[in-house]
Structure 1
């Protein structure tokens, strides 16, 4: 157990650095990630500027969480179960960062079918973890709060990443069918009904990003879904 703890305290920051470096490559290379986005517009392509708007503060949150996780001999106010929870999640976090960092290279190479493999691994692993493995949040523990924030925001933006990459890879230029439109609403609003405020808010953000990135009646419907998702989150918050 001690060796595993030491390993993840090294691998988690390394994975952050790898992912951050890959994102810089994606921004400054030619073609860059925005160029590939513009070449492969699909029914689930968001407004591209919503991604860095989410990414930037989430990076700061990750840095704070990594500091709490790895600083020598420090436990803060966290109890042992909360620290163990953070260390267990750190393995999923590490996997996610390596997947998203690798995704960037295939995305910028316009090999979207391959990039979709990595984004799928990240999203499925994160959503599965927060749904089945993440213990309840302890509002009295900074480590517990930040673990929940990092895990759930990672999962939340992962949902958008998966929809975006899949539509760009396999359904470029294909409008959403009536069934897809209906399933989108049921999926997001249903997930919000089963989610806490953090993950639910991320789902609403995903829908806003999609609505701003689309046009016509599909844009209006996505906007309505965003309002519906937000309403469900608000209702659950005050129940």
Structure 2
């Protein structure tokens, strides 16, 4: 237990620093991440600035969580919860940091592998391992925020990178349009307000990044998902 605690106290911040440095590379290099986005527009390309708008507050929550992880000043259950999630958190940061190098080299098939690993790792963790939410506990609440925002934006990353890697310029078929609505409705019905809000955000980002009837349909899906999440969690 002591060795695990000591390891994650260093591993998690190191993974955060790696991911943050990779994101700066993605923004400042040429071509940058936006250039690659614009070269590979597809049916699940979001409005790119929604990613940045999500990234900043997510980093703030992660820094608070990392501070609590480092201090280990919660009770035994809270510390164990943070320490356990720290392994998946670190994996996610390594995946997304490494993703950036392949994305910026326009090697989207390989970058998609890292997105898949991260998204399924985060979703799998919150579905099977994450302890119930307790808003009275700061370590618990922060762990839920970090885990579910990581998973929520991971869904958007997966849709975006897969479409950009394999379906550039391809209009969504009727089957894809229906499956998108059904999939997000199902996910929203199983989500709490944290993950559910991220899914709604994903749909709004997609709607703003698309055009025509597909954009309007995605906007409708966003409203539908918001209604499902609101009804499930607040009524």
TM-score exceeds 0.5: yes
**Aligned residue runs from structure 1 range 33-182, under 5 A:** 33-71=33-71, 74-75=72-73, 78-182=74-178
TM-score, normalised via structure 2 length: 0.99
Q: For the residues of structure 2 that align with 1:32 and 1:149, how far apart are their CA atoms?
A: 29
CA root-mean-square deviation: 0.7
User: Aligned residue for 2:5?
Assistant: 5
Q: For the residues of structure 2 that align with 1:21 and 1:184, how far apart are their CA atoms?
A: 33
1:95-135 Cα shifts (integer Å, max 9, x gaps): 00000000000000000000000011000000010011001
Q: For the residues of structure 1 that align with 2:162 and 2:112, how far apart are their CA atoms?
A: 6
How many equivalent pairs are there? 235
Q: For the residues of structure 2 that align with 1:94 and 1:153, how far apart are their CA atoms?
A: 14
Q: By how many angstroms is 1:26 displaced?
A: 0.1
Q: For the residues of structure 1 that align with 2:183 and 2:28, how far apart are their CA atoms?
A: 35
User: Aligned residue for 2:180?
Assistant: 184
TM-score, normalised via structure 1 length: 0.97
Q: By how many angstroms is 1:237 displaced?
A: 1.7
Q: By how many angstroms is 1:137 displaced?
A: 1.0
User: Aligned residue for 1:208?
Assistant: 204
Q: For the residues of structure 1 that align with 2:234 and 2:24, how far apart are their CA atoms?
A: 41
Q: By how many angstroms is 1:63 displaced?
A: 0.4
Secondary structure of 2:224's partner?
A: helix
User: Aligned residue for 1:230?
Assistant: 226
User: Aligned residue for 2:18?
Assistant: 18
Q: For the residues of structure 1 that align with 2:225 and 2:204, how far apart are their CA atoms?
A: 10
- In structure 2, stretches of 5+ residues that fail to align are none
Q: For the residues of structure 2 that align with 1:79 and 1:236, how far apart are their CA atoms?
A: 31
Structure 1 stretches (4+) deviating beyond 4 angstroms?
Answer: none
- In structure 1, stretches of 5+ residues that fail to align are none
Q: By how many angstroms is 1:190 displaced?
A: 0.8
